[in-house]
A and B are shown apart, each in its own frame.
Chain A
Amino acid sequence: MNELLLMCTIAGRRAAIPAIEVQSVIEVEAITPIPGTADFILGLTALRSQALTVIDCALALGLETPCASLDNRAAVVEVEGHLYALLVEEAHDVGEARSEPVAVPGGFGEGWQRAARGMVETDGGPTLLVEIANLICGPMREAA
């Protein structure tokens, strides 16, 4: 059983999102900012008359620089009934995982460690498998 993964780039690193959780990959057009929210929440965007919460994956990981996305690609996922658009730097193809996610001694670095389910081998090399539920909480929840 090889899990299908959406390969993407977050903050210059290879990352993967379980493809089964991804409803679609969209190009985010207009984002309505929501004042007062944490900075990793970029705002709302509309997709087929539904509102998506746009999350900047890099900021959600607690990294300092926001996603430098070329074409505003985002993976649409649903968590607990809410739709999110995970903005990544680049979204590539769907690939197969060649291994089970494994932990790496020493961790993946702060931020990554929290939101990563582990490292998987893929055709393109080792990739971090993102845990969406942790990602959308952002770095703030961790501190609390």
Chain B
Amino acid sequence: MDELLADFVAETREMLEQSGTELVAWEADPSDKKRIDTIFRFVHTVKGNCGFFDFPRLEKLSHAAEDALAECRAGRREPDSSLVNAVLAIIDRISEMTDSIEAGEEFSEGNDDVLIAALSPNAEIEVQSDLEIVEEAVVDPTTKDDSDNSASKAPRQAVQRSIRLPVDLLDEVMKGVSDMVLARNDLARRLREAGEQPTIDGPFERLSAILADVRTSITRMRMQRLEHLFSSLPRLVRDLSNELSKQVMVDFEGGEVELDREMIEMVRDPLTHIIRNAIDHGIETPASRLKTGKREIGTLKFAARQSGNQISLVVTDDGGGINIEKVTAKAIANGLYSRSEIDKMSDKQKQNLIFEPGLSTAEQVSSVSGRGVGMDVVRSNIERVGGSIEVSSKLGEGTSFHLQLPLTLSIIAALTVGSGDQRYAIPRSYVEEIVFGNSSHVEFAQAGDRRLVTFRDKRVPCLSLGEVLGIENTAHCRWEEKTLVLVRLASDDIFALAVDRVFDHEDVVVKPIAPAIMETRLYAGTTLLDDGRPMMLIDLPSIAQMRGMVGGVRTKAVEAEKVERQKKSKAVPVMLFAGLDGRHRAVRLELVRRIDTISRDAIDIEGERAQAVIDGEIVTLAGHDTGPLPDGRCRLLRLSDGERELVYIVKEVLDAADITDDVVPSEADRSIEGVTLVGGKPIPLLDGHAVFSRYRATRKIEHILTCRIPGESEWARTILEPLVEAAGYRIATDEDDCEADLAIALAEDGTESLQGARATIRLRPDPEDAGDDTIYRYDRDGLLAALKRIRTGRAA
């Protein structure tokens, strides 16, 4: 049944009970004016409520009774027994109808006109006022089994009856139950410590279960879902927008959040006022909305969240926003502030001027808002119940009202997290998702000093809980080892809170904390862990506010480029190796040309210069500064960037692997591209760029040595040329007018030195050594050795 209707039924029944004694007294003495007053009030109230709920029959009845009683009160009519009977009959009928309403049944048929006619002064119709008889007469004729009175009554009795209780009493009971829960937790801990005791454990389990049930019921006793408040708003919005010829759509979120019944009533009026303001001042007319490229229909969004002993309710419209200029001008014009005072204010302060008494910004004062009672009343009403209200607005984009409302009692669902060596509770209603920092779809980035995390293609600002609480330094924060709790605030702002560990979901009883702790604005309350240790409840909205995580109106996390991600998520082959210091590192496989093994003697290190000789080539050496050189054989990774080469000395080549996880960049160590996960272990990935820029790599491939060979000899072209090219030379053609690095001449062509070459190799046709520095043309080893000697001589 509708909550409001239930309230109506409860109220009516309560008044019926109260007026019961009055009715009897009146019957005894129809002229007793005091009794008439009480009964008059009753029918009057019923009449008013009926109009609201659209019960025409009830309204007609109560209206008639009210009229008759009004006559009596005014002295125009003397109450007599027939009037008393008629009124009593009507009240009985009202009672019957109330029962029907509660049971959700149709009203029983019955001639109301007879009852009403009986009220008239000259009525001759006898009306039975005896309740029992009326009840019998009212036995639902629609029920087929008329004779079975009890059967038709049965469903009516099954209907829940409600009573009204003072809220204080409920508070007291609630507090008692909360303390019982804590005492139970304490007892549970002691029982655990004492070891297993079957005779005690069983009953204790039962006690715990019962207590849990009681706690749930007690909580429900005082709580009401915010839905009940929300459900009346669409109508209000509709009426207001019609009146102001605007089109407004409402959107609710967090209707399941429960709020103290009393609190709901306290908020109703301020909320109504905020809605009026939003529709009147905030949301523009459809025409002007279209002009500014907005949807014709404005949106009014209500989002509620529970956090500790606070409910945060955000009312956001997508209207024109607060015109600061206008507000300040008005404040000055109304003499609230001087120009210089205004100039000193921040934009936020200026926006909050709307809460000042005597300020209305609408150009035309409409019937809806802007009657002088304005946001100042709203604010004072909210502050009266211990809440707070703030506004944030962007001109042209909309306005958000952030209401913080206290919750007198609180058992909240919380997430317990660890930071440092302590546990903290975070209200679960804020937690959107939990992700691990080292997970493959989480990527960290940095903008200025702000750490960002890219998750689901959104860039989300990142806070470390340890840093917020001042127990940890961000500089030493290893983000990828953290667990990220994605927090969505009531204002839809998202940020990631990095914690060391997430423990559990727990229902916690939140107790208020001392003012001196409240001052930190970090905590919303405290609660006790099962082991009896206190645990602080983190005040997320306040932290978000302090850290500027509340971006104001509808600031959505920035979309990151998807293309970039896809490229990065491709598996990258790497080679794993152990450096000279024994630490495992990885290098992109693309960089590695081959693995060489040389003797210790082939390495020459002098100051900044380190070189190795491989296959008669001198190559720049890197990686030697991480640890002592091994004795004997040295393993080298020959790295190439496509143009240059260097060798990176390692202790051991381990394996080849694919990295699929993201590479998390490191600020501290510039020699690595970042840290990635290989087989679950963090492995630093060597930064190829840094290595090549730091160690001036051997310029080898870029400068290809040229060689002239005798062009006219067929042997030279068909046999010598491929050999020379394979050795790394380019065959100089006749177009090369510059000096070649090497010339190969055939001894039979004569002894004159070939022009245009820095070095010359002479080949002789006969195997016998002629003793003239020539090489036998089929002495392959000799020839290659000569070629290499010249090449390395140049390269060095």
Contact = CB atoms under 8 A, between A and B. Distances in A.
Interface of A: 30, 32-38, 41, 43-46, 48-51, 53, 80-82, 84, 136-138, 140-141
B513 A32 contact: no
23 contacts: A32-B533, A32-B536, A34-B520, A35-B522, A37-B516, A37-B517, A38-B516, A38-B519, A44-B534, A44-B536, A46-B532, A46-B533, A46-B534, A49-B185, A49-B186, A49-B528, A51-B513, A51-B534, A82-B513, A136-B514, A138-B516, A140-B519, A141-B516
Interface in B524-541: 526-528, 532-536
The 9 A-B pairs with the shortest beta carbon distances in the complex, nearest first, are: A49-B182, A35-B469, A44-B534, A53-B514, A51-B534, A36-B520, A82-B514, A49-B186, A35-B471
Given A33-B422, A49-B182, A82 B515 contact: yes
Interface in B413-438: 420, 422
A84 B536 CA distance: 16
Contacts of A82: 512-515
Main SS at interface, chain B:
mixed
Contacts of B526: 44, 51
Contact of B517 (A30, A50, A53): A53
A36 B534 contact: no
Nearest to B466: A35
Given A49-B182, A51-B526, A35 B516 contact: no
A30 B533 contact: yes
Contact of A32 (B182, B511, B516, B535): B535
Contacts of B471: 35
Interface string B501-522: 0000000000111111101101
B567 to A, nearest CB: 41
A49 B534 CA distance: 9
A51 B186 contact: no
Contacts of A136: 514, 516
B534 A37 contact: no
A30 B113 CA distance: 77
Contacts of A45: 534
Interface of B: 179, 182-183, 185-186, 420, 422, 468-471, 511-517, 519-520, 522-523, 526-528, 532-536
Given A49-B183, A82-B515, A35 B420 contact: yes
B522 A53 contact: no
A38 B521 CA distance: 12
A49 B179 contact: yes
A38 B522 CA distance: 12
A136 B514 CA distance: 9
A140 B523 CA distance: 18
A34 B179 contact: no
Contacts of B516: 37-38, 41, 53, 136-138, 140-141
A35 B517 contact: no
Contacts of B534: 32, 43-46, 51
* Most chain B CB inside 10 Å of its own CB: which residue of A32, A34, A45, A136: A34
* Most chain A CB inside 10 Å of its own CB: which residue of B420, B470, B526: B526
A34 B517 CA distance: 8
Nearest to A51: B534
Given A36-B520, A36-B522, A46-B528, A53 B513 contact: yes
Contacts of B420: 35
A56 B514 CA distance: 14
Contacts of A41: 514, 516-517
A51 B185 CA distance: 13
* Most chain B CB inside 10 Å of its own CB: which residue of A51, A80, A82: A51
A80 B516 CA distance: 12
Contacts of B422: 32-33, 35
A45 B470 CA distance: 21
A141 B516 CA distance: 9
Nearest to B187: A49
Contacts of A34: 517, 520, 523, 536
A35 B526 CA distance: 13
B511 A51 contact: yes
A35 B535 CA distance: 12
